[in-house]
């Protein structure tokens, strides 16, 4: 545990390993593969209970021939003097060592090692930690050799253990874990540091005993690695069996007698059967094991009954379309009119000042007949509609508005749709609405990106998003009027580099280091800095040094921000504070040495970001905070709490429409009306004036208005 992590637990009143062990709580694993993090609480629990805990159960394939590698070296001198190789073939075990008296012999032992290892071209090469892989890369750079195949065969056993297997030991070093699984070393003080001392003594005295100690130590490391690989490979069977010393971290084993197991089985079956459709799922309390249902797959089963939507018989509007003139297969063939008629009905919404209503439109056209193909062809307009949803543009826009802006779950959208319009759809239909509109409005997002890149400043922020159990990252870019989102699998700032390539304005961001390499002027958010200073001062109220430092920062920031409050973000009013900033750096940052770690951390931060903390003093109308970026991404954070997880195929489409919705919101325009208008440019869409719904008390009204206002509901105004 790092000092920072220990400090975090100490703030919670946790000071011992035993106390830490009681903090761990089993949690249900999310679907999909997600990166496991090391859990100090689970490690402490393993030490207290003297059990092995598995956070992820893996099966490791073994080979008939296996190689176990351990390399000894002097890191300060970049010199590797001993390569040990344990060869396991069936029941036979052979150890080979390659020793270098001096640096000049390093090339020789490298050649001998490659020759030996090439005798087993497909055998996996196990090692522990990253030292061996780095040493092989160094050997290759110095002396050459074809090691591509060797590097692919390397298996770092530590990757099998870290954050996945928790042994009841205080570290994951080979010595501690190896001793727990049964490995032994002849020297009681054997360690990597002791090996450096033995090598130093051998170089001084040339005593063969020290060389033998090193060879024995290297061989025992290889044997310990072999024992560890066998132990880890067998943990899966220990987790599946009733071995009490091996537990699943998130699914602890439950032990019971034979009678108790029968009772638990029947009680569990009773609880599973207590569902709404009880009559169709009767409880079986016999002694035989009830039949479990197989795993269900997404989608309808093969060969299921197909259904077709019942469209309204009477449409409010009928449109006759022109038939197809030429055959699509034979361009020179003119189609003859057929007696058959093709029709397609579209259900849509009509919006007005007083609300909306549903209506149906039927498109009718005569089919064309081709004598050469002997086929009938529908009119082009109907063919185009056949490929779309039965619901029209405005109806789908209403559904998307419910999901994007109102953040309703699919179940509630379906319920509201049925209550208001008498139409029922499936969640898949709403997903298709989003997919079709995302494709249709892709050009709108391109316009938003173009407008953002023309802005003198851009706000950027990022947040995590769960995609089927795996953490992804969403990035938001906004200039205060236009918003776009981008989705990436990692937190690497590559997307910011790609989007902002060639940008000459100012990038406003928090202190995430990924933004520092973006090649443009930058302004760091002062709110993040002030918030961190405030929280650390609350945590250390009696740290006099930190308090004095924060006081100096306060004396610097307050006059500047007061001027911004009165005068605005104008260069001619703020430029005078550059001398104050220079004096602050000269006296408080550069001329002092601080003792407390937290104060030194802020001192380094001020030094690193000197040019980007006060850039707004040198330019007009550059914000000093990133509140607009956080405001743009807040809607996604709220939706994330509601939904929990997203589907990978739907997330980019949802983010595209969310960016358009946020752009409408920042420009005080209705997202629903924008979609219904079929406009593609948010800036070109004119916002409608809001209807005046109230007037000051005592203002002049006509008698009709007064009567209408005072008339009881359901009673005509004349009777009132």
pLDDT digits (tens, 9 = 90+) for 471-497: 899 999 999 999 999 999 999 999 999
% of the chain beyond a pLDDT of 70: 90
Q: What mean pLDDT is predicted for residues 68-89?
A: 93
Structure tokens at 470: 């795996």
Q: What mean pLDDT is predicted for residues 682-704?
A: 74
Angle CA(618)–CA(619)–CA(623) in degrees, nearest 5? 110
Residue 577 DSSP one-character state: G
What pLDDT was estimated at residue 294? 53
Structure tokens at 523: 């302004």
Scan for tokens 């981008």, then name that residue.
Answer: 486
pLDDT at 391 over 60: yes
Q: What mean pLDDT is predicted for residues 435-445?
A: 94
What pLDDT was estimated at residue 718? 41
Which pLDDT band, with edges at 50, 70 and 90, does 260 fall under?
Answer: confident
The residues facing 458 across adjacent strands are 507
What pLDDT was estimated at residue 249? 83
Q: What mean pLDDT is predicted for residues 8-30?
A: 87
What average pLDDT is seen over the chain? 86
Q: What mean pLDDT is predicted for residues 446-453?
A: 95
Judged by DSSP in three states, 628 sits in helix
CA distance 411 to 11: 43
Q: What mean pLDDT is predicted for residues 434-447?
A: 94
Residue 687 DSSP one-character state: P
Of 271 and 682, more confident: 682
Q: What mean pLDDT is predicted for residues 166-195?
A: 92
What pLDDT was estimated at residue 28? 67
What pLDDT was estimated at residue 283? 47
Structure tokens at 612: 């980007």
> Across 167-277, where does the E strand assignment appear?
246-248
What pLDDT was estimated at residue 106? 93
Residue 326 DSSP one-character state: B
CA distance 272 to 282: 11
CA distance 175 to 160: 16
pLDDT at 717 over 50: no
Q: What mean pLDDT is predicted for residues 649-656?
A: 94
Structure tokens at 291: 């039949």
What pLDDT was estimated at residue 707? 46
pLDDT digits (tens, 9 = 90+) for 596-642: 999 999 999 999 999 999 999 999 999 999 999 999 999 999 999 98
pLDDT at 213 over 80: yes
pLDDT at 673 over 90: yes
Distances (CA, A) of 100 to 67, 211, 520: 21, 11, 52
pLDDT at 31 over 70: no
Which pLDDT band, with edges at 50, 70 and 90, does 699 fall under?
Answer: low
The residues facing 166 across adjacent strands are 53
CA distance 132 to 487: 36
pLDDT digits (tens, 9 = 90+) for 115-148: 999 999 899 999 999 999 999 999 999 998 888 8
% of the chain beyond a pLDDT of 90: 59
Q: What mean pLDDT is predicted for residues 665-669?
A: 93
Q: Which of 72-81, 266-275, 429-438, 474-483 has the lowest mean pLDDT?
A: 266-275
Residue 163: count of CB within 10 angstroms of its CB: 16
Residues 403/413, Cβ–Cβ less than 8 Å: yes
Q: What mean pLDDT is predicted for residues 709-720?
A: 42
Q: Phi-psi category of 625—alpha, beta or left, where left has phi over 0 and alpha has psi -120 to 50?
A: beta
Judged by DSSP in three states, 607 sits in helix
pTM over 0.85: no
- Strand (E) or helix (H) holding 158: helix 158-161
What pLDDT was estimated at residue 81? 94
Of 243 and 92, more confident: 92
Residues 97/83, Cβ–Cβ less than 8 Å: yes
Q: What mean pLDDT is predicted for residues 321-340?
A: 82
Positive or negative torsion for Cα 613, 616, 622, 623: positive
> Rounded to an integer, what is the distance from CA 343 to the centroid of its chain?
46
Which pLDDT band, with edges at 50, 70 and 90, does 708 fall under?
Answer: low
């Amino acid at each position: 545990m790092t000092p920072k992590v220990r400090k975090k637990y100490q703030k919670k009143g946790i000071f011992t390993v035993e106390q830490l062990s009681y903090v761990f709580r089993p949690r249900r694993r999310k679907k999909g593969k997600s990166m496991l993090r090391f859990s100090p609480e689970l490690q402490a629990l393993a030490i207290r209970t003297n059990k092995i805990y598995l956070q992820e159960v893996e099966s490791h394939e073994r080979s008939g021939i296996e190689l176990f590698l351990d390399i000894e070296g002097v890191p300060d001198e970049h010199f590797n003097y001993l390569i040990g190789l344990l060869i396991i073939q069936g029941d036979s075990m052979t150890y080979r060592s390659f020793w270098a008296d001096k640096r000049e012999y390093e090339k020789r032992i490298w050649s001998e090692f490659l020759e030996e290892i090439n005798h087993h071209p497909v055998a996996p090469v196990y090692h522990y930690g990253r030292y061996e892989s780095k040493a092989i890369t160094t050997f290759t750079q110095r002396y050459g050799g074809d090691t591509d195949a060797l590097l692919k065969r390397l298996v770092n056993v530590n990757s099998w253990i870290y954050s996945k297997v928790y042994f009841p030991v205080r570290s994951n070093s080979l010595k501690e874990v190896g001793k727990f699984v049964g490995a032994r070393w002849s020297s009681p003080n054997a360690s990597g540091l002791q090996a450096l001392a033995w090598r130093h003594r051998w170089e001084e005295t040339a005593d063969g005993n020290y060389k033998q100690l090193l060879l024995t130590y290297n061989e025992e490391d290889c044997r310990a690695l072999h024992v560890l690989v066998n132990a880890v490979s067998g943990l899966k069977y220990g987790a599946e069996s009733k071995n009490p010393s091996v537990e699943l971290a998130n699914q602890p084993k439950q032990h019971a007698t034979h009678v108790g197991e029968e009772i638990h089985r029947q009680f569990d079956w009773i609880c599973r059967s207590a569902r709404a459709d009880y009559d169709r799922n009767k409880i079986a309390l016999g002694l035989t094991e009830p039949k479990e249902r197989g795993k269900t797959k997404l989608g309808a089963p093969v060969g299921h009954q197909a259904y077709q939507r019942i469209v309204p018989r009477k449409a409010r509007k009928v449109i006759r379309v022109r038939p197809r003139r030429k055959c699509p297969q034979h361009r020179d063939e003119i189609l003859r009119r057929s007696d058959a008629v093709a029709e397609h009905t579209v259900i849509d919404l009509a919006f007005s000042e007083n609300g909306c209503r549903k209506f149906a439109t039927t498109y009718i056209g005569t089919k064309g007949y081709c004598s050469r193909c002997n086929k009938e062809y529908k009119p082009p307009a109907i063919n185009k509609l056949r490929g779309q949803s039965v619901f029209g543009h405005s109806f789908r826009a209403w559904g998307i508005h419910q999901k994007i802006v109102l953040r309703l779950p699919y179940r509630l959208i379906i319920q509201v749709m049925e209550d208001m319009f008498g139409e029922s759809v499936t969640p898949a239909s709403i997903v298709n609405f989003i997919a079709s509109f995302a494709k249709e409005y892709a050009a709108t997002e391109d316009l938003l990106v173009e407008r953002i890149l023309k802005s003198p400043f851009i706000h950027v922020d990022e947040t995590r998003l769960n995609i089927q159990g795996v953490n992804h990252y969403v990035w938001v870019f906004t200039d205060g009027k236009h918003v776009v989102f981008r989705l990436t699998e990692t937190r690497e700032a590559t997307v910011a580099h790609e989007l902002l390539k060639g940008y000459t304005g100012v990038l406003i961001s928090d202190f995430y280091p990924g933004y520092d390499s973006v090649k443009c002027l930058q302004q760091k958010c002062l709110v993040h800095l002030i918030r961190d200073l405030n929280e650390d001062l609350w945590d250390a109220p009696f740290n006099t040094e930190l308090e004095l430092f924060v006081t100096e920062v306060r004396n610097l920031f307050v006059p500047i921000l007061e001027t911004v409050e009165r005068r605005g973000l104008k260069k001619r009013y703020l430029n005078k504070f550059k001398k104050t900033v220079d004096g602050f750096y000269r006296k408080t940052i550069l001329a002092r040495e601080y003792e407390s770690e937290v104060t030194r951390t802020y001192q380094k931060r001020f030094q690193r970001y000197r040019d980007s903390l006060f850039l707004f003093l040198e330019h007009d109308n550059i914000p000093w905070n990133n509140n607009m970026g956080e405001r743009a991404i807040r809607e996604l954070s709220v939706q994330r709490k509601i939904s929990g997880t997203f589907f990978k195929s739907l997330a980019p489409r949802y983010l595209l429409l969310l960016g358009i919705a946020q752009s409408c919101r920042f420009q005080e325009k209705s997202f629903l009306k924008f979609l219904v208008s079929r406009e593609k440019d948010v800036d070109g869409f004119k916002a409608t004036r809001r209807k005046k719904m109230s007037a000051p008390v005592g203002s002049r009204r006509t008698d009709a208005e007064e009567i209408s206002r005072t008339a009881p509901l359901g009673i005509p105004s004349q009777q009132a």
